[in-house]
A and B are shown apart, each in its own frame.
Chain A
Amino acid sequence: MRNLFAALAGSLFGTGLLVSGMTDTRKVQGWLDIFGQWDPTLAFVMGGAILPMAVAWIYARGRNPLMGGQFPAPPEQKLGRNLILGSILFGMGWGLVGLCPGPAMASLSFGGPGVWIFVLAMVAGMWAAPHVRMRLDALNASA
């Protein structure tokens, strides 16, 4: 059952990404391009997505997940260097070609070889990330 709900969530996520136009790299880069022809679509997507999600978080209070277990603990308040540095690196890659992990996966079946090259490099980056994080933590500790 858990896997069924996970597949349902993934299917909805993929459908939403297609409908919203977020698999179109021009819309993403258009949102980031404040000095060009600025495209505000992404703000509508974000706003639309945050709405049901906020309701879900409120509903989750004092309850347990349908499939058992517990809801995630309240978010950490500590920011940390990794959060900032990682987000900057991610944003650079996102701006460079207009793809982030969700839309890249969603467009694997129709986006052509470019999407595959991106996803393979992304997987390589994710594989390397724990090592990068270890180095960063060592640097932070010695600083």
Chain B
Amino acid sequence: MPVEWIFGLIGGLIIGTAGAVFLLANGRIMGASGLIGGLVDGSGRANSNERLAFLAGLVGMPMIIAHVFGFVPETAVTGNIAALVAAGLLVGIGTRVANGCTSGHGVCGISRLSLRGIVATVFYIGAGGLTVVVFRHLLGVI
């Protein structure tokens, strides 16, 4: 088994543990888009401190790992600004209209056999796959 798969599995277990902590301690679903979106559109004003604390950990811990421990992961993010802006807008609008992303619908939804979580995951993976096929193999731009 390639080492990347093993790291994937270990990292996944840590992500699931994060979701379990957030659920069992605070009674909340760990969905990245919902936690951010609620701050952006004001719908999460009632518990904004909790949201900010979560995001501080989400941004801060990788910062410590990268800049204090010197483990800087590769991201290989495209330099195509038009693609970045379009993708950001699509992700921002899409996750809020669908009420969830990979963490909320994917991890937290599927793990309790939520039909909505499963259907959302099928559609965003399908749309993502189609997008890569079109933009990489047909148009050759990504």
Contact = CB atoms under 8 A, between A and B. Distances in A.
Interface of A: 2-27, 29, 32-36, 39-42, 44-57, 59-60, 64-72, 75-79, 82-102, 104-112, 114-115, 117-130, 132-133, 136
28 contacts: A2-B50, A3-B50, A3-B53, A6-B53, A10-B53, A12-B17, A12-B57, A14-B61, A16-B13, A16-B17, A22-B11, A40-B5, A44-B5, A48-B12, A49-B106, A65-B23, A68-B27, A76-B116, A87-B119, A93-B87, A96-B131, A96-B142, A106-B58, A109-B59, A109-B63, A110-B67, A118-B77, A121-B89
Consensus secondary structure, chain B interface = helix
Contacts of A109: 59, 62-63, 66-67
B11 A67 contact: no
B137 to A, nearest CB: 6
Contacts of A10: 18, 53-61
Contacts of B20: 52-53, 55-56
Nearest to B80: A97
Interface of B: 4-30, 32-33, 36-37, 40-41, 43, 49-51, 53-63, 65-67, 71-79, 81, 83-99, 101-103, 105-112, 114-117, 119-121, 123-133, 135-137, 142
B94 to A, nearest CB: 3
A31 B106 CA distance: 15
B131 A91 contact: yes
